[in-house]
Amino acid sequence: MTGQVPDILIDEVVLGLASDADTARVEELALRDADVARRLEQARLRFMALDDTAPVLPIPLGFWDRLRDRLEDATPAQAARAARVVDLARARLRRWQGAAFGGMAAAALMAAMLGWTLLQSPEPAVVAVLLDADGEAVALIEGQPDNTTRVTLLERPDLPAGRVMQVWTKPDADGLPVSLGLLVSGRSDTLTVPGLPAPGASQLYEITAEPDGGSPTNLPTGPILGKGLAKEPVI
């Protein structure tokens, strides 16, 4: 039966990367085929060194408090998603406990997966794709009800020296633009401005090139790198 179980599948079972069906098949074969059992044990011993080299990483400060708060405030959809992640983590935990990787690695996996699910940002209230003058998408805007704005750059503009990207919005279509902040690093970032009304559909967002430190007039002065109108996502 050895030919029915290639070496790469043995390795995937040990590493917890194989499907449930493949894992069950290999483990069932190992009970009846001494050669499969021997190869499975050899793979477990071979990969055990990886577990020994993994550093012990402390859980981030305040993780459990944030996790508890999210659990208490979770919507039914978030709770259902968390339950699916826990089921997946438990399945992977059982698989890893029977392989070379012990409880530390499996527990870390479960904590990471559950934490990612519950601590990730909530669904955005609005989404906007910013286009440049040529109609190319340059950034994705995700606006939260608390005016936390996630800016994901799709292109990195070639800014001249002494210039920085500044993000703007117009909560009132007839009002003036309001600065949401600077992308000082020139990379995607999350910006928060308290006190603004929650973002809504058709709200304008744009990114301009401004002098270091931001617009001296607190209004857009530089060339527009990208702009677009917000839409409410279909959830």
Question: How are strands ordered across the β-sheet holding 137-143?
Answer: 178-183, 163-170, 204-211, 224-229, 126-131, 137-143, 148-153, 189-192
In this predicted structure, the answer to whether residue 113 has a pLDDT above a threshold of 70 is no
Instruction: Identify the DSSP state of 84.
Output: H
CATH of 126-229, one of 1.10.3470, 1.10.533, 2.60.40, 2.60.120: 2.60.40
In this predicted structure, the answer to whether residue 127 has a pLDDT above a threshold of 80 is yes
Domain boundaries, the chain: 1-53, 57-120, 126-229
Instruction: Report the b/e string of 111-140 with b at 16+ CB within 10 A.
Output: eebbbebbeeeeebbbbbbbebeeeeebbb
**What predicted TM-score, i.e. pTM, was given to this entire model?**
0.52
In this predicted structure, the answer to whether residue 81 has a pLDDT above a threshold of 50 is yes
In this predicted structure, the answer to whether residue 103 has a pLDDT above a threshold of 50 is no
Mean pLDDT of 116-131: 72
